[in-house]
Structure 1
Amino acid sequence: MNQNGTSKQATVKTAKIQGWRQSPAVRWTLMAMFVLLFYISLAPHVIPETYDIAEGSVSEKDIKAPFQIRDDKATRQAEEEAANRIEDSYKIVPMKNEFLVEQILFRIEQLNMDDQVTNQNKIDIYRTEIPGRYTEHIDTFVKMNIGKGTYSDTLLEEMSRVAKEQKYVIPEETFYKMPQLTMEQLNDMRKVAMNIVKKLTIEQLREAETARTQVAELVNASSLSNRTAREIVQELARFTIMPNKFLDKEATEEARVLAKQNTPPVVIKEGDIFVKRGQTITPELYKLLSDSNLLQDKKHYWPQMGLLILSFMFIIAIYVYLHQSGGINGLKPRYGNAQLLMLWLIYLINTITIQIMGFTQTDTASYVGFLAPAALGAMLITLLLDMHLAIISSFIFAIMGSIILNTHSSQLFDFRYGFFIMVVSLAAVFAIHRASQRSAILKAGIMVSLFGSIAVLAMLLMSEQLDRMPLIYSVSFAFASGLLTAVLVIGLMPFFEVTFGILSALKLVELSNPNHPLLRKLLTETPGTYHHSVMVGNLAEAAAETIGADGLLCRVGSYYHDIGKTKRPNYFIENQSNMENPHDTIDPKLSKSIIVAHARDGSEMLKAHNIPKPIRDIAEQHHGTTSLKYFYHKALKQAEEQGIEPNFTENDFRYPGPKAQSKEAAIVGIADCIEAAVRSLRNPTVEHVEAMINKIIKSRLDDNQYNECDLTLKELDKVAQSLKESIIGIFHSRIEYPDDAKAKEGTN
């Protein structure tokens, strides 16, 4: 009763474990954990950091610019300073004032020749008409040039205003002297006055008074001898001299606008501290923080949405591959929840190692990122799971690394690190996927170092970054990355193998070493069983490889599948050389108990020696629930001889199971039975061997021994053909071929 209770508890516990491994709820939880891992690891590098700061408060920390930020206030100030440095633009506007002198003298000449006009009238005319000619001359010039394009309207307006403001007032007594001028005097005055005005207005004049001060000297040095003529010429010259250099407001404004436009914006460089700890947040700083989306009240919905989409794209790529590999649906998936959890842990570890290198990077030492052991994840996935899954993961790691190791916030990805991680990851996958010894990991690490260094060197040469020290550091760190990867893989492999019961190719090769304590025990205590196990391993490995199963697992599992026989070696026929069979003298039921116990005993011995579960499963499941017909019939015969009714059935003479749960366990069971059967044949022929193989497989198939594993009938045919070819090769000297058998019959 107690045994039944214990058995039921063990069954329930096993069912719970199996339920966890295949539970859809657990599977989708792990998928969500992948999305969470991708999002959390990339969020700090994609979503800007925000600060809880209010206007007028004091900053509790230094705030660095996450990217290049335009300082609008400083930019406007710089533009104003640039505009203020632009001097006023002046333009020369020659109005030919000497013609104005000529017109005035001509008018004086006309009036002086007119005897009908009295001197007083002449004086009144001069007093009113001559000052008007100054304004008229200016207005006429503006009218003639406006709209012509030679001078802008604003310039003509400025010229008119300034010239009129600087108008010279002729003294009143000068008008009284003008009627006294003779024709001869006027002719002499015309020439002198025009020359003086022309000479003084050739130079640039912003102030007419500057030139007017020189008039007296020039008049005195002229040929005029009459005092009155000199006085009048002097006043007329001063009157007709105007400024000819005027402020061009439009050109000045255009120049200043252009200066503002050409002023480069003032920016806060990426990584620069623009808010110091203890600094008061002014309205300008607060606006700058707000415009840069650095305040917590700013919701970064779009970056979050983009990152979430990217995270889902990553998990979809993994899901699609697992689905196509039979790892999501199906009775016995290739990748269950345990493998998915292990894959998540590998992604976590690989991401953490990249993040660590990302934290050590600086703007001046960004090459530290090449030290990241980014090939770690790809190498572990190749060794523990699958090469093709590792290739897919390599591209995911490359994208993640190009974001995490990016030191330029102005861009989302840094292709240098993405390319580097892709190269080293793929190099790791192809260098390690056929590894059979631990030393192969170090060799693969060296290959990763070489390819990583070459990739970094190629990128730096193409980008013409030939600075000596950064180049040396970058290549050196890339080389060290491969060695660091190998060390971490060697250290982490036992953790995954023990925690998840993973049988990597490296572990299987180690377990196949004849010096293993259990194999040495098998060899020394049960040499017949040892030889049988080796033969079964050869048969099972070849058969497994024909259907895509794990041939190496079949071979190593075969080595250990009968380890339980070492407890009672003499009760198994292969170890009974030169001795009587002890089963001849004991009850068939006891014989049955001894025989079937070797499967359970073997599993317990393997568990005690920490042999991984897949091998323990092969030892426990290789007989399934098959019947020991020999002892069953022997028991029937004894009951018949004793004249009693049998109190047992054939089911009492069956192995306790369980049935084979994997292709590998089923194949080892078939190879085990067939090897023993072939060895029992005295004169086997090809027909006998083929018939025997088909009979054994059909018998187990009819007995429903393969109902709990995913072997198909097509795969069973391939297994049978492989076993036939292997047996013929192994027992070549004993097996008679059809032609040999016919020749032998002829001689008889």
Structure 2
Amino acid sequence: MQTHPLLHKIRKFLSYRLFTNLMFILLGLIVFGILYGNVKPKPLDISLYEEAPSTIRAPKTLEDKEATEKKKEDAAAQIEKVYSAKEGAVDNAVTLVSSLIDSVLDVKGEFKEVSPEEEAANPKNSQINKQIEELKKRLPDRNDNLVTKSLTDKILESLLSASDTELERVESIVTTQLQVIMQDKVKEEELKEARVNLEQRIKNFTFSGTLSDAAVALGNVAIEPTEYYDEEKTEQLKKQAVKEVQPVKVIDGEVIVEEGDLVTPAIYDTLNDFGMVEEDFSLKPIIGLILFIVVIISSLYYFFYTLEVKEEQKQNYLILTSIVFVISLLIMKITGLLKQLEINDIAFLFPAAFTGMILRILLNERIAMMMVFIIAACASIVFNEEFSGSIDIQVAIYTLFSGVAGIMTLISRNQRTNVLRAGIYVAFVNILIIAFLVLLSDVSYTSTEYIYYLVFALVSGIGSSILTIGFLPFFETGFGILSSMRLVELSSPNQPLLKKLLTEAPGTYHHSVMVANLAESACEAIGANGLLARVGCYYHDVGKSKRPHFFIENQMNIENPHDRMTPETSRTIIIDHATDGADMLRKHKLPKEIIDIAEQHHGTTLLKYFYYKAKEQGKDVSEEEYRYPGPKPQTKETAIINIADSVEAAVRSKTSPTQEEIRNLVAAIVKDRLNDGQFNECDLSLKELEKVKKSLCETLNGIYHPRIEYPELKDKGEE
């Protein structure tokens, strides 16, 4: 890639780092200026209790928090209290009654053993009081003091005064009724009702004296809930119910208010939640846009910072990418203006694949893929229905898949017809994506709308390829980019210089084609640009067309003119073919990469034949006088052409070379170049050199393989 003269002048005044930083800042400002109009708050001219001037739809999906909260409260309120069974409640009640009766019997038994004298000395009331006091000491001690509170002295006296038979009957009746009532599950709040029921049941039986009240008191003391309120489990169920409540949402595209309908407080609040009626200027969308641009610029900065190319080439890539980015945004904005025609989903008309396709052709797949993601994000803002804070996810998905399809389907970048074919593939992908989005929304569309979508998909895909083809020449010329398409065009035999070489130096032309075959295969073996190597080989010896007969491949049945010339003159003629070729290529305005190959394909190698010829003639000469001026190969492609050029000439001089001879020749030439330091200025590794040697040998073996010698045919008349 060549540097534009204007950019070159600017770089003279600015350092590379400062120039790059200024480019990023300028790009950020341009993107901000383009996207600002799509995030700037635009409140609706609408008031409460007035008719809506037009139908207003939700610009994005938004949760109705108030409705969601009410729904959660209702869900929690519907959860009934959870009760857990109290294990052994019935047995505990029965045991308590039995224990109380046993205590009464025990106390009565102890006081029966008192002697008549003691009994006469103590009145009856005094005896009962002692029994009551003793019985109180034996009553169960519970935290709620229910036993001591419920069993009054009167109740205890009634029990102590009863006979053993009566006490056993009381115990039997109370325990039986307790079991009947408590087996029906008694909850805490139902305990009062259960005691009333128990009292009624016990009083259905006949007791002597006050034993009926004592039996009821015993039952009230013993009865307890068989199920208790489990607050923890109840809260868990409420939390689970609240958790399962789906948020109440206003769906993207849903009608908030129809044209002419009254704007109620609920509708007004919904519009306010979307930021459609705010009159105060808000900085939030602006800050959000700034953060979005910071993410984009940071991503680009990191990407180009880690790009392993020369600094100048890296800046050219950045400038080119920035220009394509801005052009895409402008096309996006122009497409967005068509929304004024009141055509739904005009965003699908945007040529989303243009950015990825042109960057893949001009630069590489990584840059193209990265920019497709950025363009998709920008499209979600540009086509956001102009409501602050909203983005269009559908457009982002459509733009992303369309852009990726453009990159993936552009398999061959060598011909412009392939770009058109890729555009048709993109259109097909667009149709599938639009169909996916339309069917997923489950909204009814008219046949006219379906036709619109089909046309939009086709125009977007084919339009992307047309824009790509249209902009390519400008970028190739303006930045001196040698794209694959340009290389294919340069490889045509109808190119003036190749036609001149073919007609005036056919031997050189044939040699160039053979070298091109060798170099292309070797470059592809190590991942270098095989097409550039091939086309570069076609032009690398074009300087020989100036004096074709001074080169052996063009000397057919004529005397070698070098036999009658001094070594110095021959040296000058041979060496000049590299500089002459570079001058001719510059005159015809061929790309710099091709000129560099013509100038560097011999590096600074020594013209050994004429050097030693001069030495044999006794002349005092130095090696520097018989070396090509260079420079040495600067790229892998040029270095491989350097090897392939010498290898082809050396093998061609052999008569029916064997595989062993070819292998030895290739190894010797590579070793000679290494020892001579010809590859010191390019990044060709020794590992790659081994692959290059293997590829050259395979290609040469295919060209110079042994052939069957056919028997000479005799004329039938001679038989």
**What TM-score bracket applies, with the shorter chain setting the length?**
0.5 to 0.7
2:266 paired residue number: 264
Structure 2 residue 379 is the aligned partner of structure 1 residue 397: no
| Offset of residue 267 of structure 1 | 7.8
Written as runs of structure 1 = structure 2, the 5 A alignment for 1:130-209 is none
Structure 2 residue 296 is the aligned partner of structure 1 residue 314: yes
1:386 paired residue number: 364
Given the alignment, which residue of 21, 31, 34 partners 2:24?
31
Distance 1:691 1:22, change over 3 A: farther
Given the alignment, which residue of 355, 364, 369 partners 2:342?
364
The structure showing larger relative contact order (alpha-carbon pairs under 8 Å, at least 6 residues apart) is: 2
| Offset of residue 457 of structure 1 | 2.7
Structure 2 residue 470 is the aligned partner of structure 1 residue 491: yes
Distance 1:436 1:379, change over 3 A: same
2:210 paired residue number: none
Question: Could you say what secondary structure the match of 1:26 adopts?
Answer: helix
Partner letter of residue 394 of structure 1?
V
1:725 paired residue number: 698
| Offset of residue 366 of structure 1 | 4.0
Are 2:38 and 2:388, in contact at CA under 8 Å, matched by a contact in 1? no
Distance 1:13 1:633, change over 3 A: farther
Are 1:453 and 1:476, in contact at CA under 8 Å, matched by a contact in 2? no
| Offset of residue 534 of structure 1 | 0.6
| Offset of residue 500 of structure 1 | 1.5
Give CA deviations for 1:139-176 in whole Å, capped at 9, x if unaligned: xxxxxxxxxxxxxxxxxxxxxxxxxxxxxxxxxxxxxx
1:110 paired residue number: none
Question: Could you say what secondary structure the match of 2:617 adopts?
Answer: helix
2:596 paired residue number: 617
1:698 paired residue number: 671
Cα distance in structure 2, aligned partners of 1:18 and 1:657:
27
Partner letter of residue 312 of structure 1?
V
Given the alignment, which residue of 578, 584, 593 partners 1:599?
578
Distance 1:494 1:309, change over 3 A: same
2:415 paired residue number: 437
2:90 paired residue number: none
Cα distance in structure 2, aligned partners of 1:370 and 1:556:
40
Question: Could you say what secondary structure the match of 1:406 adopts?
Answer: coil
Cα distance in structure 2, aligned partners of 1:334 and 1:680:
43
| Offset of residue 22 of structure 1 | 9.7
Given the alignment, which residue of 283, 290, 305 partners 2:287?
305
TM-score computed with the length of structure 2 as normaliser: 0.63
1:674 paired residue number: 647
Aligned-pair identity in percent equals 41
| Offset of residue 405 of structure 1 | 1.8
Question: Could you say what secondary structure the match of 1:264 adopts?
Answer: helix
2:392 paired residue number: 414
Cα distance in structure 2, aligned partners of 1:14 and 1:598:
32
Give CA deviations for 1:318-338 in whole Å, capped at 9, x if unaligned: 3444455514xxxx4795211
Partner letter of residue 477 of structure 2?
V
Partner letter of residue 35 of structure 2?
L
Greater CA drift, 656-665 or 541-550 = 656-665
1:141 paired residue number: none
| Offset of residue 69 of structure 1 | 7.2
Distance 1:659 1:376, change over 3 A: same
Give CA deviations for 1:180-226 in whole Å, capped at 9, x if unaligned: xxxxxxxxxxxxxxxxxxxxxxxxxxxxxxxxxxxxxxxxxxxxxxx
| Offset of residue 363 of structure 1 | 7.9
Cα distance in structure 2, aligned partners of 1:21 and 1:494:
29
Are 1:363 and 1:407, in contact at CA under 8 Å, matched by a contact in 2? no
Are 1:70 and 1:265, in contact at CA under 8 Å, matched by a contact in 2? no
Distance 1:669 1:447, change over 3 A: same
Structure 2 residue 558 is the aligned partner of structure 1 residue 579: yes
| Offset of residue 408 of structure 1 | 4.7
Question: Could you say what secondary structure the match of 2:557 adopts?
Answer: coil
Cα distance in structure 1, aligned partners of 2:453 and 2:369:
25
| Offset of residue 707 of structure 1 | 2.1
| Offset of residue 623 of structure 1 | 0.9
Question: Could you say what secondary structure the match of 1:720 adopts?
Answer: helix
Distance 1:304 1:567, change over 3 A: same
Given the alignment, which residue of 263, 269, 279 partners 1:292?
279
Are 1:571 and 1:583, in contact at CA under 8 Å, matched by a contact in 2? yes
2:635 paired residue number: 662
Partner letter of residue 289 of structure 2?
L
2:322 paired residue number: 344
Question: Could you say what secondary structure the match of 2:618 adopts?
Answer: helix
Given the alignment, which residue of 450, 459, 464 partners 1:480?
459
Are 1:373 and 1:485, in contact at CA under 8 Å, matched by a contact in 2? yes
Cα distance in structure 1, aligned partners of 2:7 and 2:618:
38
| Offset of residue 73 of structure 1 | 9.5
| Offset of residue 40 of structure 1 | 2.7
Distance 1:73 1:670, change over 3 A: same
| Offset of residue 700 of structure 1 | 1.7
Cα distance in structure 1, aligned partners of 2:530 and 2:583:
24
Structure 2 residue 612 is the aligned partner of structure 1 residue 633: yes
Distance 1:315 1:15, change over 3 A: closer
| Offset of residue 543 of structure 1 | 0.7
Written as runs of structure 1 = structure 2, the 5 A alignment for 1:314-333 is 314-327=296-309, 332=310
Give CA deviations for 1:472-507 in whole Å, capped at 9, x if unaligned: 223312211222222211111111111222121111
Structure 2 residue 520 is the aligned partner of structure 1 residue 506: no
Cα distance in structure 2, aligned partners of 1:16 and 1:655:
32
Distance 1:718 1:315, change over 3 A: farther
Distance 1:723 1:374, change over 3 A: same
Question: Could you say what secondary structure the match of 1:373 adopts?
Answer: coil
Greater CA drift, 513-522 or 312-321 = 312-321
Are 1:366 and 1:407, in contact at CA under 8 Å, matched by a contact in 2? no
| Offset of residue 734 of structure 1 | 8.0
| Offset of residue 545 of structure 1 | 0.9
Structure 2 residue 447 is the aligned partner of structure 1 residue 468: yes
Cα distance in structure 2, aligned partners of 1:325 and 1:673:
34
Partner letter of residue 266 of structure 2?
P
| Offset of residue 672 of structure 1 | 0.7
1:545 paired residue number: 524
Written as runs of structure 1 = structure 2, the 5 A alignment for 1:509-548 is 509-548=488-527
Cα distance in structure 2, aligned partners of 1:672 and 1:308:
56
Cα distance in structure 2, aligned partners of 1:734 and 1:333:
52
Distance 1:348 1:557, change over 3 A: same
2:547 paired residue number: 568
1:245 paired residue number: none
Partner letter of residue 337 of structure 2?
F
Cα distance in structure 1, aligned partners of 2:32 and 2:294:
9
Given the alignment, which residue of 661, 672, 677 partners 1:688?
661
Are 1:70 and 1:267, in contact at CA under 8 Å, matched by a contact in 2? no
Distance 1:265 1:367, change over 3 A: closer
| Offset of residue 342 of structure 1 | 1.2
Partner letter of residue 293 of structure 1?
D
Question: Could you say what secondary structure the match of 1:336 adopts?
Answer: helix
1:559 paired residue number: 538
Are 2:39 and 2:386, in contact at CA under 8 Å, matched by a contact in 1? no
Are 2:39 and 2:388, in contact at CA under 8 Å, matched by a contact in 1? no
2:430 paired residue number: 452
User: What's the C-alpha RMSD, in Å, of the aligned pairs?
Assistant: 3.2
2:197 paired residue number: none
Pair member with larger Rg: 1
Give CA deviations for 1:549-579 in whole Å, capped at 9, x if unaligned: 1011111111111111101000111111211
| Offset of residue 461 of structure 1 | 2.5
Which runs of 5 or more residues in structure 1 are unaligned? 1-11, 49-65, 76-259, 275-287, 641-645, 736-748
Partner letter of residue 380 of structure 2?
S
Cα distance in structure 1, aligned partners of 2:396 and 2:570:
65
Are 1:441 and 1:490, in contact at CA under 8 Å, matched by a contact in 2? yes
